Amino acid sequence: MKTKIGLALALILLVSSLVWSAEIFEKVGTVGAQFLKIGVGARGVGMGEAFVAMDGDATCTYWNPAGIANIEGSQFSLSHASWPAEMSHEFAAYVFSYKFIPGVLGLSAVVLQMDPMPETTEYRQQGTGYSFDAGSMAFGLTYARMLTDRFSFGATLKWIHEGLADFSGETFAVDLGSIYNTGFRDIKIGMAFVNMGSGYTFFEGGKESPMPVMFKVGGSMPLLNTSDHRLIGAVEFNHPPDGAERVNAGAEYVFQRFGPNFEIALRGGYRFNRDEEGITAGFGIKFPFVRIGLVNKPSIWRVDYCYSDMGLLESSHKISLSASY
Average pLDDT, the chain: 85
| Helix%, strand%, coil% for the chain, nearest 5 | 10, 50, 40
Residue ranges in the chain assigned as alpha helix (H): 2-21, 42-46, 60-63
CA dist 305 and 318 (Å) reads 6
Q: Which of 186, 209, 189, 183 is nearest to 198 (CA)?
A: 209
**Nearest 10 degrees: Cα torsion 51, 56, 60, 63:** 20
The pLDDT tens digits for 221-234 are 999 998 889 999 99
Query: What's the pLDDT at 293?
Result: 57
237 in Cβ contact with 245 (< 8 Å): yes
Higher pLDDT, 290 or 219: 219
298 in Cβ contact with 291 (< 8 Å): yes
Residue type, 172: F
First to last CA, the chain: 35
Query: DSSP strand E in 60-133: where?
Result: 75-83, 87-98, 101-114, 117-118, 131-132
Query: What's the pLDDT at 85?
Result: 77
The pLDDT tens digits for 36-92 are 999 999 999 999 999 999 999 999 999 999 999 999 989 999 999 988 877 899 999
**Across residues 239-259, what is the average pLDDT?**
88
The answer on pLDDT for 9 being more than 60 is no
Given its phi and psi angles, is residue 85 left (phi above 0), alpha (psi -120 to 50 degrees) or beta?
left
The answer on pLDDT for 282 being more than 60 is yes
What is the percent of the chain with per-residue pLDDT over 90, rounded to a whole number?
56
Query: What's the pLDDT at 291?
Result: 63
Query: What's the pLDDT at 296?
Result: 60
Pick the range with the lowest mean pLDDT from 127-141, 162-176, 267-281.
127-141
Cβ–Cβ contacts within 10 Å for residue 68, how many? 33
Query: What's the pLDDT at 5?
Result: 44
Query: What's the pLDDT at 69?
Result: 95
**Across residues 100-116, what is the average pLDDT?**
91
Q: Which of 246, 237, 320, 318 is nearest to 277 (CA)?
A: 246
Buried b (16+ CB within 10 A) or exposed e, 205-242: eeeebbbbbbebbbbbbeeeeeeeebebbbbbbbbbeb
CA dist 170 and 193 (Å) reads 20
Strand partners, 178: 153, 191
Residues near 259 by beta carbon (within 8 Å), at least 6 away in sequence = none
DSSP 8-state code for residue 21: H
CA dist 44 and 40 (Å) reads 7
Query: What's the pLDDT at 168?
Result: 80
95 in Cβ contact with 112 (< 8 Å): no
The answer on pLDDT for 317 being more than 50 is yes
**Across residues 164-168, what is the average pLDDT?**
78
54 in Cβ contact with 60 (< 8 Å): yes
Provide the 3-class DSSP secondary structure of residue 53: coil
Query: What's the pLDDT at 28?
Result: 64
CA dist 311 and 233 (Å) reads 24
Query: What's the pLDDT at 190?
Result: 96
CA dist 47 and 45 (Å) reads 5
The answer on pLDDT for 4 being more than 50 is no
Domains of the chain: 2-324 (2.40.160.40)
